[in-house]
């Protein structure tokens, strides 16, 4: 319970710090706009960031006072693996194309969600991305990013 | 199999890069820096089949939208110049945006291949507007400074530069207000509604509403509008007197000369093909082909000349 | 218009016409129902085919795919809580809770009937009132639009399930995200920190898919493993009975009207309409207290409005030559390509084409009902696969869908980051719909505010003194904010007394 409450305080604190940091960053730059508020690029963002900071502070106070808990995490390993896999996957497509990272992602993600049969995992991991590549790259002529080895996938 | 080996041997014997011999051995990507279905995208899709036929290989159009076209140009600039990736860039993407934004490309980032189209831009008012000539406009603006509003489809867009060229050229820009919109659609709506009094774009777009052109930024009067004076005639001096929405194919800088020649030739055949002429006719595209050298010189010249416009616009 | 109808119907019910309408609608529904693949990708896929078609079939194909994908988006929103497009984000709010209750088929039934009703009414309005509506759209300048968007922003409060403060905070973050990139008035770069990839700002769809679809995958990864997807008892659409409609017709009518009016105004769009309609339903529906817990009126508000927008958006497109939203912009470009100049003269110059488009839109909406029911029956078994396959496939499809929106792998990074961000916030009880509202309305809010200040020489009060429509909308916005608070206050007093 206490750990959960502190997780919430931590998140809200982070949101508050980001808002303040972004607000501070709006004063460092110079822009071409004149004196009119409508001509100032930072006029609107400053209002929004000010509001953000105020609301984050209010939510923080609420969280500290109420101390309500968050849903427990069933398996830290699983959420850790899936989260990391998604982030790496989103990055890898730019460098390695769509097919190869997709296969690897499915090979990691399916067992994490509890599929144990290696044959099923391998078949899904190759068939689904393969079908997408066949459809978009070769059927419709609107290719997904391709790998460094060949333009075929 | 045997012929392939033979051609490789032959290529080696002639001391030509194998790449140029077999080019293209995979599909060529034409990048539209705007969304699918936009004007640029459709023009490129109209050109693609003729380009494919001329070069004897597969060609596909892909879209990479965002940042007024700068995202696609920035991405293409960082690609290997292998001839398989070409961008279709307009005057604003290639000469205006790099001078007003801190993008990673500039005048030397490209191997220009060919220009495809160019339309002169025009300044126009609503059909029920009291203004018949530019003289009327100058008089009215001088009589009521800060009263009149000109619109644009966004800061730094062709529509913005057209109005800037007109009003800066006549010395009344400081006495007017600029109201940018997101895209030509909303701006044209406000012109119809009367919230803005002036807008500038190409002939095709002007015909979408009941509008009256006041001046055209061309070297001579337009065939369809013989009564509309050119900018020079109303007293706008060079380099603000001519303004064209042009576009052409660019490859990243450092493209092999032989590949560039192949692409240029294919472009020439495609742009001058009967099929593309038909397409241009129905879509209102004004074809303007320039070869590699001519286009390179024109592009560099425009890059320089548009500096004046950018300064006038205060961008 | 009416006298051209026979000729128009001949086009529609020719072989090509029927083929285009049916295939387009089916394709749209299927693509829209896949999480991550939304209207944008659906339109991009069929676009090359339209280039080789005649004028009317080309436009009808685009319309059919678009209307089908908007409807299909509600399927994904209801069944797996992952809206494929921002306009079905409001449908999740009540659709998903209803599905979780085991009433997935009925929830889809409400969505289907509401979509069809919204579409059909807007088609009729389109046929008879297009010129009048177009004239009305011209009354809406930047200042009036600003007031309308302000009204839209008040929905943030009504969609904030749980904590209003957190809802407002999420909405504010959404608005901020929309300010990253080029300044709309001067073109200066904001919060890009020298990264050219950010010059175009954060892509709305990448963020929406991230915070809804990917965060859903992460939340399921954080929970206990289920052997099958949660919603096993979905066996196809179940239409609401007449008795169920009692007391809900008023809300349907109002939602259709809101969708039509907002659709007519260029630069607003389906997502705005869905949220404003949802907020209005929550304020005035007799079932308002159940909103957010799986209330049919919530689904109806969102779906009737977002589908009515499609018809509304055709009004300025065809009557004035001004695109009402992204898809009508594509249609205009396609028309131009076929040698037709869209604009005020189009109705007189080419009445048969216009009549064919309007009548075709009516037919497409009629088709949604049988095709939607048929396809959902075919698709039902797919939802019964194990969660692992479903979640993995969702991530792959989202990557495909987001890549094609702008053809940029950077957007995939944004999607991944938004997924993690959404997961962290949702764990802390933050509602995600306000974040989407903020991102959808933020750019127009800022642009019209600053445009208004330019027009009034920097006087904010002049927004309301000189513009009666803006004044009325402003008052409605204040009332919309105040009424729930007063009501909550009264309820609290009654509760303690």
Question: How does pLDDT run across C285-307, given as a tens digit for each residue?
Answer: 888 888 888 899 999 999 999 88
- Judged by CB atoms closer than 8 Å, whether chains meet at A106 and C396 is answered as yes
Residue A131 lies in a domain: yes
- Judged by CB atoms closer than 8 Å, whether chains meet at B314 and A32 is answered as yes
In chain A, which among 10-29 make CB contacts under 8 A with chain C? Answer: 11-12, 15, 22, 25
Contact B280/B287 with Cβ under 8 angstroms? yes
Provide the pairing of β-strand B199-202 with B110-126: antiparallel
Shared domain check, A17 and A41: yes
- Judged by CB atoms closer than 8 Å, whether chains meet at B62 and A151 is answered as no
- Residue C279's nearest CA partner among C159, C138, C446 is C159
Shared domain check, B137 and B67: no
Q: What is the pLDDT of residue C348?
A: 75
The residue among A14, A42, A66 that closes a domain is A66
Least confident among A20-24, B217-221, C334-338, C390-394: C334-338
In a 3-state reduction of DSSP, which class is residue B89?
strand
Shared domain check, B206 and B125: yes
Average pLDDT value for residue range A121-138: 95
A1: pLDDT confidence band, cut at 50, 70 and 90? very low
A4: pLDDT confidence band, cut at 50, 70 and 90? low
Q: What is the pLDDT of residue C10?
A: 86
Chain B residues near residue C195 by CB distance under 8 angstroms? none
Chain B residues near residue A32 by CB distance under 8 angstroms? 314-315
In chain C, which among 2-61 make CB contacts under 8 A with chain B? Answer: 43-44, 47-48, 51
List the beta bridge partners of residue B152: B180
Peptide bond into B281 cis (omega under 30): no
Shared domain check, B193 and B255: no
Q: What is the mean pLDDT of chain B?
A: 89
Shared domain check, B44 and B54: yes
Question: Token digits for C112?
Answer: 């289907």
Shared domain check, A91 and A54: no
Question: Using the 8-state DSSP alphabet, how is residue A86 labeled?
Answer: H
Shared domain check, B249 and B115: yes
- Domains of chain C, by residue range, sit at 2-231+243-496
A94: pLDDT confidence band, cut at 50, 70 and 90? very high
Angle, vertex CA C245, rays to CA C242 and CA C247, nearest 5: 135
- Residue B122's nearest CA partner among B301, B244, B298, B282 is B244
- Residue of chain A whose Cα is closest to the Cα of C167: A55
Chain B residues near residue C339 by CB distance under 8 angstroms? 281-283
Helix (H) or strand (E) holding B12: helix B2-13
Shared domain check, A94 and A47: no
Q: How far is B282 from chain C (nearest CA, A)?
A: 4
Q: What is the pLDDT of residue B2?
A: 42
Q: What is the pLDDT of residue C230?
A: 52
- Asked if B26 has any chain A CB less than 8 Å from its own CB, the reply is yes
Predicted confidence (pLDDT) at residue A125 exceeds the cutoff of 90: yes
- Residue C73's nearest CA partner among C239, C223, C212 is C212
- Asked if B107 has any chain A CB less than 8 Å from its own CB, the reply is no
Predicted confidence (pLDDT) at residue A143 exceeds the cutoff of 70: yes
The number of distinct structural domains making up chain B is 2
- Judged by CB atoms closer than 8 Å, whether chains meet at C224 and A36 is answered as no
Chain C residues near residue B37 by CB distance under 8 angstroms? 43-44, 47, 329-330, 333-334
Residue B227 lies in a domain: no
The number of distinct structural domains making up chain A is 2
- Residue of chain B whose Cα is closest to the Cα of A34: B314
Torsion of CA A142, A148, A150, B1, to 10 degrees: 150
Chain B residues near residue C201 by CB distance under 8 angstroms? 66-67
First to last CA, chain A: 49
Residue A146 lies in a domain: no
Residue B304 lies in a domain: yes
Predicted confidence (pLDDT) at residue B10 exceeds the cutoff of 50: no
Q: Return the sign of the alpha-carbon dihedral for residues B290, B292, B298, B304.
A: positive
Predicted confidence (pLDDT) at residue B31 exceeds the cutoff of 90: yes
Residues in chain B, overall count? 315
Structural domain harbouring B127: 120-216
Structural domain harbouring A12: 2-66
Question: Token digits for A53?
Answer: 């900071």
Give whole-number Cα distances, C358 to A151, C350, C362, C368, in Å: 43, 13, 7, 16
Question: How does pLDDT run across C380-426, given as a tens digit for each residue?
Answer: 777 777 888 989 999 999 999 999 888 899 999 999 999 999 999 99
- Residue of chain C whose Cα is closest to the Cα of B283: C337
Chain A residues near residue C429 by CB distance under 8 angstroms? 68, 70
Partner chains of A (3+ C-beta pairs under 8 Å): B, C
Shared domain check, B85 and B36: yes
Question: How does pLDDT run across C206-256, given as a tens digit for each residue?
Answer: 999 999 999 989 998 998 876 555 545 677 788 898 888 888 999 999 999
Question: How does pLDDT run across B90-112, given as a tens digit for each residue?
Answer: 999 999 999 988 899 999 999 99
Average pLDDT value for residue range C425-433: 90
Contact C161/C431 with Cβ under 8 angstroms? yes
Q: What is the pLDDT of residue A34?
A: 61
Chain B residues near residue C44 by CB distance under 8 angstroms? 36-37, 63
Shared domain check, B33 and B87: yes
d(CA A12, CA C427): 12
Residue A151 lies in a domain: no
Residue B187 lies in a domain: yes
In chain C, which among 138-157 make CB contacts under 8 A with chain B? Answer: 138-139, 141-142
Residue B222 lies in a domain: no
Predicted confidence (pLDDT) at residue C53 exceeds the cutoff of 90: no
d(CA B297, CA B300): 5
Average pLDDT value for residue range C79-100: 86
d(CA C461, CA C465): 6
Give whole-number Cα distances, C315 to C90, C121, C124, C260, C410, in Å: 24, 13, 12, 10, 36
Chain A residues near residue C176 by CB distance under 8 angstroms? 22, 45, 48-49, 52
CATH code of B286's domain: 3.40.190.150
Helix (H) or strand (E) holding B249: strand B244-252
Residue A82 lies in a domain: yes
Average pLDDT value for residue range B17-30: 79
A45: pLDDT confidence band, cut at 50, 70 and 90? very high
Average pLDDT value for residue range B152-164: 92
Residue B50 lies in a domain: yes
Shared domain check, B198 and B50: no
Considering only residues C145 and C319, tell me which one the structure prediction assigns the higher pLDDT. Answer: C145
- Judged by CB atoms closer than 8 Å, whether chains meet at C187 and B156 is answered as yes
In chain C, which among 252-291 make CB contacts under 8 A with chain B? Answer: 266-267
Helices A99-112 & A118-133 angle (0-180, nearest 10):
150
Interface-testing mutation among B30, B35, B64, B160, with chain C (most C C-beta atoms within 10 A) = B35
Least confident among A65-69, A80-84, C109-113: A65-69
Residue from the list B186, B207, B282 with its beta carbon closest to the beta carbon of C266: B186
List the beta bridge partners of residue B199: B124
B263: pLDDT confidence band, cut at 50, 70 and 90? very high
In a 3-state reduction of DSSP, which class is residue C407?
coil
B19: pLDDT confidence band, cut at 50, 70 and 90? low
Shared domain check, B253 and B149: no
- Residue of chain A whose Cα is closest to the Cα of C168: A55
- Report long-range pairs for C483-490 (Cβ below 8 Å, ≥24 apart): C483/C283, C484/C157, C484/C158, C484/C282, C484/C283
In chain B, which among 118-137 make CB contacts under 8 A with chain C? Answer: none
Chain A residues near residue B29 by CB distance under 8 angstroms? 143
Predicted confidence (pLDDT) at residue A7 exceeds the cutoff of 90: no
- Residue of chain C whose Cα is closest to the Cα of B97: C187
Shared domain check, A82 and A62: no
Cβ-Cβ pairs closer than 8 A, B with C, add up to 165
CA Rg value for chain C: 22
Predicted confidence (pLDDT) at residue B12 exceeds the cutoff of 80: no
Considering only residues C173 and C345, tell me which one the structure prediction assigns the higher pLDDT. Answer: C173
- Residue of chain A whose Cα is closest to the Cα of B26: A151
Chain C residues near residue B183 by CB distance under 8 angstroms? 323, 329
Residue A145 lies in a domain: no
Q: What is the pLDDT of residue A68?
A: 67
Average pLDDT value for residue range A65-83: 84
Q: What is the pLDDT of residue C236?
A: 78
Average pLDDT value for residue range C5-16: 86
Residue B131 lies in a domain: yes
Residue A10 lies in a domain: yes
Q: How far is A58 from chain C (nearest CA, A)?
A: 7
Chain C residues near residue A44 by CB distance under 8 angstroms? 179, 446, 449-450
Shared domain check, A54 and A15: yes
Rounded to two decimals, the ipTM of the complex is: 0.93
Shared domain check, B200 and B256: no
Average pLDDT value for residue range B272-292: 91
Predicted confidence (pLDDT) at residue B6 exceeds the cutoff of 70: no
- Judged by CB atoms closer than 8 Å, whether chains meet at C391 and A56 is answered as no
d(CA B302, CA B277): 26
Q: What is the pLDDT of residue C497?
A: 47
In chain B, which among 230-269 make CB contacts under 8 A with chain C? Answer: none
Chain C residues near residue B98 by CB distance under 8 angstroms? none
- Judged by CB atoms closer than 8 Å, whether chains meet at A142 and B62 is answered as yes
Chain C residues near residue A48 by CB distance under 8 angstroms? 172, 175-176, 179, 442
B287 CB contacts (<8 Å, ≥6 apart)? B116, B117, B271, B276, B277, B280
- Judged by CB atoms closer than 8 Å, whether chains meet at B180 and C137 is answered as no
Q: What is the pLDDT of residue C15?
A: 87
User: C494 — phi, psi (to 5°)?
Assistant: -65, -40
Q: What is the pLDDT of residue C288?
A: 85
Residue A99 lies in a domain: yes
In chain A, which among 89-148 make CB contacts under 8 A with chain C? Answer: 89-91, 93-94, 98, 102, 105-106, 109-110, 112-115, 124, 128-129, 132, 136, 140-142, 144-145
Question: Token digits for C474?
Answer: 């402003």
- Judged by CB atoms closer than 8 Å, whether chains meet at C51 and B36 is answered as no
């Amino acid at each position: 319970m206490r750990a959960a409450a502190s997780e919430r305080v931590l998140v809200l604190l982070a949101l508050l710090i980001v808002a303040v940091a972004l607000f501070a960053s709006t004063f460092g730059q110079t822009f071409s706009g004149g004196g009119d508020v409508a001509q100032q690029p930072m006029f609107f963002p400053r209002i929004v960031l000010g509001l953000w900071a105020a609301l984050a502070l209010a939510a923080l106070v609420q969280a500290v006072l109420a101390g309500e808990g968050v849903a427990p995490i069933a398996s830290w390993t699983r959420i850790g693996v899936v989260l990391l896999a998604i982030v790496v996957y989103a990055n890898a497509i730019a460098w390695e194309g769509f097919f190869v990272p997709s296969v690897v992602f499915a090979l990691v993600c399916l067992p994490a969600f509890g599929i144990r049969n290696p044959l099923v995992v391998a078949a899904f991991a190759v068939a689904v991305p393969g079908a997408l590549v066949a459809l978009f790259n070769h059927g419709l002529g609107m290719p997904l990013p391709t790998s460094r080895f060949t333009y075929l996938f | 199999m045997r012929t392939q080996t033979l051609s490789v041997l032959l290529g080696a014997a002639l001391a030509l890069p194998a790449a140029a011999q077999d080019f293209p051995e995979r599909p060529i990507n034409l990048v539209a820096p705007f969304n699918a279905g936009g004007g640029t995208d459709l023009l490129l899709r109209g050109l693609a089949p003729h380009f494919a036929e001329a070069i004897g290989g597969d060609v596909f159009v892909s879209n990479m939208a965002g940042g007024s076209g700068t995202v696609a140009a920035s991405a293409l600039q960082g690609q290997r110049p292998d001839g398989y990736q070409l961008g279709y860039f307009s005057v604003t993407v290639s000469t205006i945006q790099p001078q007003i934004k801190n993008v990673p490309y500039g005048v030397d980032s490209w191997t220009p291949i060919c220009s495809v189209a160019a339309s002169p831009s025009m300044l126009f008012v609503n059909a029920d507007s009291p203004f018949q000539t530019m003289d009327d406009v100058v008089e009215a603006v001088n009589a009521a400074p800060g009263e009149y509003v000109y619109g644009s489809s966004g800061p730094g867009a062709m529509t913005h530069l057209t109005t800037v060229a007109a009003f800066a050229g006549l010395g009344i820009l400081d006495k007017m207000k600029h109201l940018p919109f997101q895209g030509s659609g909303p701006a044209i709506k406000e012109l119809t509604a009367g919230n803005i009094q002036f807008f500038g774009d190409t002939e095709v777009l002007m015909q979408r509403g009941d509008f009256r052109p006041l001046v055209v930024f061309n070297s001579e009067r337009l065939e369809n509008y013989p009564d509309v004076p050119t900018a020079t005639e109303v007293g706008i001096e060079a380099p603000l007197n001519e303004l064209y929405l042009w576009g052409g194919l660019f490859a990243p800088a450092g493209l092999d000369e032989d590949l560039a020649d192949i692409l240029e030739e294919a472009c020439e055949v495609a742009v001058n093909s009967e099929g593309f002429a038909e397409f241009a006719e129905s879509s209102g595209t004004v074809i303007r082909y320039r070869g590699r050298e001519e286009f390179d010189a024109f592009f560099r010249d425009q890059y320089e000349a548009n500096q004046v416009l950018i300064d006038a616009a205060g961008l | 218009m009416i006298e051209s109808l026979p000729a128009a119907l001949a086009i529609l019910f020719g072989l090509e016409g029927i083929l285009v309408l049916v295939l387009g609608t089916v394709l749209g529904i299927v693509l829209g129902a896949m999480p991550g693949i939304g209207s944008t990708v659906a339109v991009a896929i069929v676009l090359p085919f339209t280039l080789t078609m005649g004028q009317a079939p080309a436009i009808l194909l685009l319309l059919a795919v678009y209307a089908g994908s908007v409807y299909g988006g509600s399927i994904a929103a209801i069944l797996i809580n992952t809206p494929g497009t921002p306009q079905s984000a409001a449908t999740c709010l009540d659709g998903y809770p209803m599905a979780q209750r085991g009433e997935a088929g009925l929830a889809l039934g409400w969505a289907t009937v509401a979509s069809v009703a919204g579409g059909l009414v807007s088609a009729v309005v389109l046929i008879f009132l297009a010129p009048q509506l177009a004239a009305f759209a011209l009354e809406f300048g930047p200042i009036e639009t600003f007031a309308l968007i302000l009204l839209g922003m008040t929905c943030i409060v009504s969609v904030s399930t749980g904590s209003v403060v957190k809802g407002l905070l999420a909405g504010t973050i959404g608005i901020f995200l929309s300010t990253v990139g080029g300044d709309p008035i001067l073109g200066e770069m904001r919060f890009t920190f020298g990264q050219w990839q950010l010059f175009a700002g954060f892509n709305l769809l990448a963020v929406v898919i991230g915070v809804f679809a990917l965060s859903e995958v992460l939340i399921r990864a954080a929970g206990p493993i289920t052997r099958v997807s949660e919603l096993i008892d979905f066996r196809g659409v179940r239409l609401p009975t007449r008795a169920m409609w009692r007391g809900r017709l008023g809300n349907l009518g109002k939602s259709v009207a809101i969708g039509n009016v907002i659709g007519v105004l260029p630069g607003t769009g389906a997502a705005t309409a869905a949220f404003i309609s949802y907020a209005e339903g929550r304020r005035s529906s007799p079932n308002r207290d159940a909103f957010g817990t799986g209330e049919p009126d919530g689904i109806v508000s969102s779906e009737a409005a977002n589908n009515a927008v499609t018809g509304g958006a055709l009004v300025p497109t065809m009557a004035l030559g001004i695109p009402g939203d992204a898809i009508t912009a594509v249609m205009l470009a396609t028309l131009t390509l076929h040698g037709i100049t869209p604009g005020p003269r189009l109705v007189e110059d080419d009445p048969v084409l216009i009549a064919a488009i309007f009548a075709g839109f009516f037919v497409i909406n009629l088709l949604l009902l049988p095709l939607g029911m048929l396809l959902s029956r075919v698709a039902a078994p797919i939802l019964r696969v194990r969660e692992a396959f479903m979640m993995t496939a969702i991530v792959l499809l989202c990557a495909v869908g987001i890549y094609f929106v702008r053809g940029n792998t950077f957007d995939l990074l944004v999607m991944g980051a938004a997924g993690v961000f959404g997961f962290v916030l949702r764990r802390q009880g933050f509602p995600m719909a306000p974040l989407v509202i903020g991102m959808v309305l933020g750019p127009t809010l800022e642009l019209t505010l600053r445009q208004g200040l330019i027009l009034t020489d920097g006087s904010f009060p002049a927004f309301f003194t000189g513009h009666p429509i803006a004044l009325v909308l402003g008052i409605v916005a204040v009332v919309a904010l105040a009424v729930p608070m007063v009501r909550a206050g009264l309820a609290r007093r009654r509760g303690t007394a």
